[in-house]
Structure 1
Amino acid sequence: MLAYAQTSFYHPFSIGAGYGVTVAYAGEETLTSSNAFNFNINYHITPFTAVSMEGQVGQLSGGDAMNDTFSKQYLNSYNALLLHADVQLGELMDFSNSQFLNGLKNVYFGTGIGILYNKITDINLIGINNSITYSTYYVKSSNLLIPLRMGYEFKIFNRRDEPQVRFDINYSFNTAFGEGLDGYYNPAGASVKFYSYFSLGLKYGFGNPHAYRKAVYYSAF
């Protein structure tokens, strides 16, 4: 009876979407922010561990043609596809007797692998007073992508104390291996670029509930 009392149930799948802000770090002096949407389908191994397929559609931008030393400025209308796994602290600790630990249980960290599809839709190739000319640049390219993720997931429980809806606050720092992110070709330049993505999202759980070894719902918090 004790073991049964500590058992809880959760939906093994969820589908979700989110919106957020991107900032690219591709070597330009001026950093600018753009926007992106994400769509995801998730398999929850436990209520606190998930493997996800995520798609991103948005923009990456940077530079200032009038004020930067090398007159760079670009806009990348990108797509990305990622496979990643996230583990929440609730998987690793006992939070049943602590309101503080119960609050920490939804903090998560994760990583994965993906592909960044670059499409340069705007780029400056000539400097002020024709001082600089870029004759070679990428219009379309793709890069291997490695995300490092952290975030917090608010769980909203249904009347059976199952986490049905999940509100997600996420920050990911993404490493793109290649030069295509900003479009500028430079044989002597760095072959690794970066971008960050801060997003808010919602997920809805579905599927036949699975049992979990301990209670997920904590009424005192």
Structure 2
Amino acid sequence: MTISAIAFCSIVKAQPAYNYSKVDFGIAGAITKPFTDEQSADYKPSGLVNVTYNQTPFINYVAELQAGELTGKSVYSNVNKRDFNTRFATAALRGQLQAGQFLNYYNSRFLNAIKNLYVSSGVGAIYTRSTVNSIAFQNNQYRTVTGRPSDYALFIPARLGYEFKIYNSDQEPFIKIDLGYQFNYVFGDSLDGNKSGNSNDVFNQFSVGVKFAVPGIAIYKRPI
């Protein structure tokens, strides 16, 4: 029994452990562009906050809040025109899978470089409130009509990104720089305040964010 105990302890000591934080808190900025019934739209800024639960360093679950602005206008003709300005807010939950979860990256410079590449998707809800100006030529004069419709809808986010990890003196990732592109399919048709047309609205985003590890240690079996 003594020999077995010594052997067991030797095996345990031979297995190194690598630490990481279970939870990250993050902030980000993005530029957002809608694709709606209006033919012309611009990129506008939005802000995000998120909390990430790390099941492993490379399997993550993200809860995220966002607020921003969407704008666009129609270019149908010189007679009838329409423009919109939409304030929006979203709440979303995403699962995120990084390449490092299934790559043996520690023996390859190339694989080590791409281990932080990730894909992500989930579900979210969006609230919009739009200021809409419609200009039409009626009764030999131009007439401007302003409306402020609001609406709720679900959306599906699909995200591709890369996470630069910054390590502390113990080789634990404690800051992460997140670069991403996200496509959002909305189950609705009112991002521009206009429920018309034959297809639902979408909006896309390019974002840059930073995440900070919340104190609390978890153990991983491989170098991070």
Pick the TM interval, shorter chain: 0.7 to 0.9
1:142 to 125, 140, 152: 152
> Which of the two has higher C-alpha Rg?
2
Report the counterpart of residue 20 of structure 1 in structure 2.
30
Distance 2:142 2:203 in 1: 26
Give the CA deviation at 1:68: 3.7
Q: 8 Å contact 1:32–1:63 — kept in the other structure?
A: no
Report the counterpart of residue 209 of structure 1 in structure 2.
217
Identity %: 29
1:113 aligned to 2:106? Answer: no
Give the CA deviation at 1:196: 0.5
Question: SS state of the match for residue 156, structure 1?
Answer: strand
Structure 2 CA distance for partners of 1:177 and 1:85, relative to 1, 3 Å: same
TM-score with structure 2 setting the length = 0.86
Normalized per residue, which structure has more strand? 2
Ranges in structure 1 where 5+ consecutive residues have no aligned partner? 217-221
Ranges in structure 2 where 5+ consecutive residues have no aligned partner? 1-10
Q: 8 Å contact 1:144–1:178 — kept in the other structure?
A: yes
Q: Which amino acid aligns with 1:124?
A: N
Give the CA deviation at 1:99: 0.7
Report the counterpart of residue 46 of structure 2 in structure 1.
36
Aligned length: 209
Distance 1:132 1:151 in 2: 47
Give the CA deviation at 1:207: 3.3
2:200 to 192, 207, 216: 192
TM-score with structure 1 setting the length = 0.87
Q: 8 Å contact 2:132–2:147 — kept in the other structure?
A: no
Give the CA deviation at 1:3: 5.3
Report the counterpart of residue 219 of structure 1 in structure 2.
none
Question: SS state of the match for residue 100, structure 1?
Answer: helix
Report the counterpart of residue 71 of structure 1 in structure 2.
81
Q: 8 Å contact 1:152–1:168 — kept in the other structure?
A: yes
Give the CA deviation at 1:51: 0.4
Distance 2:110 2:57 in 1: 19
1:125 to 131, 134, 158: 134
Q: 8 Å contact 1:113–1:145 — kept in the other structure?
A: yes
Distance 1:73 1:81 in 2: 26
Give the CA deviation at 1:158: 0.8
Q: 8 Å contact 2:176–2:211 — kept in the other structure?
A: yes
Q: 8 Å contact 1:138–1:184 — kept in the other structure?
A: no
Question: SS state of the match for residue 110, structure 2?
Answer: helix
1:4 aligned to 2:15? Answer: yes
The RMSD of aligned alpha carbons is 2.2
Q: 8 Å contact 1:72–1:124 — kept in the other structure?
A: yes
Residue correspondence of structure 1 range 50-65 to structure 2 within 5 A: 50-64=60-74
1:127-175 CA-to-partner distances (Å, cap 9, x unmatched) read 3x34998989661101111000010000000111110000000111001
Question: SS state of the match for residue 161, structure 1?
Answer: coil
Q: Which amino acid aligns with 1:184?
A: N
Q: 8 Å contact 1:155–1:166 — kept in the other structure?
A: yes
Q: 8 Å contact 1:116–1:143 — kept in the other structure?
A: yes
